Chains A and B, each alone.
Chain A
Amino acid sequence: MQPRMGVRGLSASARVARWNEIPLAPPDKILGIAEAFKEDSNPKKINLGVGAYRNNEGKPIIFPSVKNAERSLLETEVEKEYTGINGSKPFQSIVQNFIFNNSNKDAAGAKLIGGNRIVTAQTISGTGSLRVIADFLVRFNSAKKIYVPKPTWANHIAVFTDAGLDAEFYAYYDNNANDLDFANLTKSLEDADPESVVLLHACCHNPTGMDLTPEQWEVVLEIIQQKKLYPLIDMAYQGFASGNPYKDIGLIRRINQLVVEGKIPSYSLCQSFAKNMGLYGERTGSISIVTESPEQSKAIDSQLKKLIRPMYSSPPIHGSKIVETIFSNPELLESWLGDLDQVVGRLNTVRDKLYQKLDKTNYNWDHLTKQRGMFVYTGLSKEQMIALREKYSVYATEDGRFSISGINDSNVDYLANAINEVVRDFK
């Protein structure tokens, strides 16, 4: 008998009832895939579920620039004391200068920085920044509704809803046409409740890989002004569209201009170095709020601190120190830009290879060439995805999204063939 049974003669059941009000939480889909993949004994199995970069050998990489930055950090670091609640000041100004000032290429952004109209806080990577801004908006924005594209990153809805926002979809993608559904996108934003929050993916939309053109953004920004919507921009893949992080932020530059012109009062940006520096697990990102005035910046800065302190006190420093090291050394910065360009280059090469090997007689694969970022949104049906998994050991989410970096020279033929087969079987 276990000793606890004897304690004061209490039956075990009297003391085990404490947790029984809690229902089982649904598992994360991506994790389920990783587990099923691990158990599959097929030597040809392919995992296209992970949202992290793999090289042509299927291995995770450390960006050489990051490795060098980390080496110098390991040698020079003498303490690990707390950073501020809002994170490290140098990190905050790096983010502002890199993104809003676009390293001296964005005059409007520079004006906003100079006028103390941007408040930046270091957060627990992109997820943490989404959470902090969601909590902030619940407390201080008049409208509690947030419109997110359909489809969007699965955790968006979970994070926003859990914080107390009311998430609703706006049209984004046409699954039949495998293309952006711009007509319905604009229509659903025009029908949106005024003053609501609208989530925009800055580039490399997850999961579709399909972004708006500058002209289309212009139309959307016009609606945002008319309906007084509050833009919340999520930028998790800066650099993955063009290979150049400075080029991927057209939306931010344009919106900065509109803010300077007084046409959009305020917006927020969630940003992460998880993907573009390969710092995934270090949880390095930020939230920036472009405010209406320097006075408001002060208030917002203090409110962010008040919000973050009871959540986790202060953010982790290892990743942000790496970012600081890279940005304070021109050679490392140059090297990082090169690393990123290479990574994106490989993703695009693989995308092309896959496209070439796909059989276009049964299915139009042209959307592949238009998509950008880490994913291919195939348009394959749930049945086809299940068949891919069961017959060919190809693992990916059932919405038909492939993480391109799981594809390499040694499996692209096998994969293309498997896809061609299931397309034929389920025509």
Chain B
Amino acid sequence: MTVTTKFSKLEAEALDPIIATMARYAADPNPNKMDVSIGVYKAADGSSFMFPSVKMAKEIYNKVEPGHNYTTMSGLPEFIPVAQQTVFGDKIAGEGKLATIQTISGTGSLHMAMLILRSAGYTNFAVGTPAWSNYIPMAQHIGCTTSTYKYYDEETKTIDFESVVCAIEEASPKTVFILQTCCHNPTGADLSKNQWKTIRDLTINKDCMVLFDIAYQGFASGDKDEDAWPIRYFYEAGMEFVVCQSFSKNLGLYGERAGALHVVVQDKDSLPIVHSNMVKNFREECSFGPAYGARIVSTVGSTPEIKKVWDQDVAGVAERMVTMRRRILDTLTKLETPGKWDHVIRQTGLFWFSGLTKEQTERMISEYHIYLTQNGRVNVAGLNDANLDQFCKALDAVVRSS
């Protein structure tokens, strides 16, 4: 060809590590292979799980046939109050201080949050490590800076709260702290109420911003209201902050991409200005949010009988994970696996940050066909009565021989 290439700067990018792990899993012919990598909830029999509340909402959808029209650029109108009430509770949702748009699930919400924060002058994002792998690329994607601090201590297998406090105290102005509200990904180690109180006291007078990422609401305590406590607590102090909400996990709507961005604006005159900018940013990337997932969420949240079922669904998920965690600990104790393993029951949510090293993780995959993420994160929901022993024995063998 005579033409010079248009895309000379291009090189192939390495696969995201989790995607690479999934690809290996898919290619593994072993019939007993086990996937405990990606953060998707599985039923007690190992199968995919459709929330009973979602099934009920789908039946209503089927009868009503709402069609596929464009919604509005801030989202499906009936979705917005449901999203707000879920995070903030009915009372706060009714106070008119929330600028909310529907987004492309939690990731899209984080992206829109970063954009609005950037236009408000907040251009540095502080990320506690280890963290969800997308935060830093997301900030970089829009040309913002990032700083990291230690969130989790591998030795004690708990939050390094001193380091968190220090990071806040020493943060440069206009820094955004991305804090996961519950079920921390990947560590499963959540801040206690007292720790949240300290963080609120530290941030209230500072020119910094808190971004609550709430992707697993309800999976820690089994109660969605309880899990949202930190957000409501900050609101009560009259603070301004942002909340990135996802229904991927707590309604099992992953691929439907249902989520929202909430910006708490104390000044009534500023609220429409902030909201108009959120809409503008969204319009320039997507125009409209996807309707179907939002319709399911709004039907679930606004139909009292279905809402009750949803509460039970979430409680059931949390309970199953607590049970599995207990059984992991019991089994490892029975096997007398060397080391301390009680962090498995101290951590909450889908993930157990096992502490297995990279080498041990690799051996779990190559010798035992058990696929966890490279950082030793185990999706507890991938375990069930049928495969728990297999998992624990493999872990025991790998730990013993290293």
Q: How far is it, in angstroms, between the C-alpha of A125 and the C-alpha of B282 when the chains are bound?
A: 13
Contacts of A365 in B (CB 8 A): none
A82 an interface residue at 8 Å Cβ cutoff?
yes
Binding site of B, secondary structure by majority: helix, strand, loop or mixed? loop
Residue of chain A at shortest CB distance from B241: A18
Residue among A83, A317, A318 with the highest chain B CB neighbour number at 10 A: A318
1/0 per residue, CB under 8 A from B, across A290-316: the answer is 011000101110110111011111111
Residue of chain A at shortest CB distance from B67: A62
A177 an interface residue at 8 Å Cβ cutoff?
no
Chain A nearest Cβ from B249, distance in angstroms:
11
B58 an interface residue at 8 Å Cβ cutoff?
yes
B27 an interface residue at 8 Å Cβ cutoff?
no
B170 an interface residue at 8 Å Cβ cutoff?
no
A80 an interface residue at 8 Å Cβ cutoff?
yes
Contacts of B289 in A (CB 8 A): 283
Contact residue range for chain A? 35 or more
A19 near B273 with CB under 8 A, answer yes
Contacts of B5 in A (CB 8 A): 265, 292, 296
The A/B interface has a contact count, at CB < 8 Å, of 267
A265 near B6 with CB under 8 A, answer yes
Cβ 8 A contact of A262, one of B2, B107, B254, B266: B2
Residues B230-255 near A (CB distance < 8 A): 236-240, 248, 252-255
A299 near B12 with CB under 8 A, answer yes
Cβ 8 A contact of A128, one of B19, B70, B281, B285: B285
Chain B interface residue count, CB cutoff 8 Å, equals 88
Contacts of A20 in B (CB 8 A): 270
Q: How far is it, in angstroms, between the C-alpha of A359 and the C-alpha of B255 when the chains are bound?
A: 53
A140 an interface residue at 8 Å Cβ cutoff?
yes
Q: How far is it, in angstroms, between the C-alpha of A132 and the C-alpha of B82 when the chains are bound?
A: 30
Chain B nearest Cβ from A340, distance in angstroms:
14
B349 an interface residue at 8 Å Cβ cutoff?
no
A316 near B238 with CB under 8 A, answer no
B254 near A82 with CB under 8 A, answer yes
A230 near B67 with CB under 8 A, answer no
A319 an interface residue at 8 Å Cβ cutoff?
yes
Residue among B2, B49, B70, B209 with the highest chain A CB neighbour number at 10 A: B70
Cβ 8 A contact of A28, one of B8, B73, B111: B73
Known A16-B267, A26-B280, A262-B2; judge A299-B256 contact (CB<8 A). Answer: no
Contacts of A28 in B (CB 8 A): 73, 279, 283
B104 near A316 with CB under 8 A, answer yes
B273 near A316 with CB under 8 A, answer no
Q: How far is it, in angstroms, between the C-alpha of A282 and the C-alpha of B104 when the chains are bound?
A: 11
Chain A nearest Cβ from B94, distance in angstroms:
14
A382 an interface residue at 8 Å Cβ cutoff?
no
Contacts of A4 in B (CB 8 A): 236-238, 266
